[in-house]
Amino acid sequence: MRDDLFLRACKGAVTDRVPVWFMRQAGRSLPEYRAVRERHTILQVCRTPELAAEVTLQPVRRLGVDAAILFSDIVVPLQAMGVELDIAPGVGPVIASPIRSARDADRLRPLVPEEGVPFVLETVSALVEQLDVPLVGFAGAPFTLASYLVEGRPSRDHARTKALMLSDPPTWHKLMDRLSEAILACLRAQVRAGAAAVQLFDSWAGSLGPREYAAHVAPAVTRILSGLEDMGVPRIHFGVGTGELLELMAGTGTDVMGIDWRVPLSRARARLGDDVVLQGNLDPALCLAPFEVVRDKAQEVLAETGGRRHVFNLGHGVLPETDPDTLARLVDVVHEWRVR
């Protein structure tokens, strides 16, 4: 590996430059990704190692980022657990028969990654051969995956998911147990195949209050993150709108806490202390502004941490409308900035 700046920063070392990568750096903002997607569905791309590796590499070549993120989707392991699903264009994951009872939850089969998602592991192995920056493996966290399984499709309020959580705790806990076991197996297999770090996406956990998160979600996340500890790779934990949950989320055993753009990093640092590395948190919408604005706002984000114990990223994924040249120039701004 040419450059382990990203890994050193994730481990809390003081580096002279701040590493940068972007959530959804592979995706619709890149014309070369859209060209692949004209010929293949997203699930085909995920299931074909040559294609998944190619779209993982696209942003690394074009943007000069310090880490690659595996191209896959959080719902891919669910298919291997027996869930019939599709990723509908312009919508997102759609589940054929949503899970709303104990009997439904019993349909979820245990995941043996080598048998259920061999193509993911082949993609990881192929990438590790080709990449000169670390590869971030990932999975969806139990709550976020449950929200798709229970709602059946993307949802704003996650109302049925929360209703199930509060009205039928045994079914909820069965769901959390099965999902956390599968996610842990999937992440461990990605690391064995060569992923140098892992990110757990609890994108929608911010829809919960702290009491519900602590009682009904945090134990499952803790099982996953503590179950990875012996592998020695940085564990990144991320959610959107999680300002009120940061202490609880960081307390599940995370090395790097992803912060969305609503919480200034200086405040996240004051709340979480020095033991956790912060990742974030430029508002992805700002990347649509003139570049001078992007540059000034990125420098503001960097000044929030002084560049210490900080991995630069957006506060959520790259928006499809983003000009890739803006992202490439943003990488340069971060790299030129000197740690204070």
Enumerate binding residues for ligand 1CP (CB under 6 A).
Answer: 23-28, 37, 42, 69, 71, 73-74, 87, 89, 92-93, 138, 144, 154, 201, 203, 317
User: How far is Cα of residue 129 from the mean position of the Cα atoms in its chain?
Assistant: 22
Answer for the pair 200, 183: CB distance below 8 angstroms, yes or no: yes
* Residues taking part in catalysis: 24, 28, 37, 73, 148
Answer for the pair 63, 52: CB distance below 8 angstroms, yes or no: no
3-class DSSP string for the chain: CCCCHHHHHHCCCCCCCCCECCCCCCCCCCHHHHHHHHHCCHHHHHHCHHHHHHHHHHHHHHHCCCCEECCCCCCHHHHHCCCCEEEECCCEEEECCCCCCHHHHHCCCCCCHHHHCHHHHHHHHHHHHHCCCCEEEEEECHHHHHHHHHHCCCCCCCHHHHHHHHHCHHHHHHHHHHHHHHHHHHHHHHHHHCCCEEEEECCCHHHCCHHHHHHHCHHHHHHHHHCCHHHCCCEEEECCCCHHHHHHHHCCCCCEEECCCCCCHHHHHHHHCCCCEEEEEECHHHHHCCHHHHHHHHHHHHHHHCCCCEEEEECCCCCCCCCHHHHHHHHHHHHHCCCC
**Burial class of residue 118 (count of CB atoms within 10 Å of its CB; 0-12, 13-18, 19+):** middle
Gyration radius of the chain's alpha carbons: 19
| Pair type for strands 256-258 and 235-238 | parallel
| Pair type for strands 277-282 and 235-238 | unpaired
Tokens describing residue 51: 């294609």
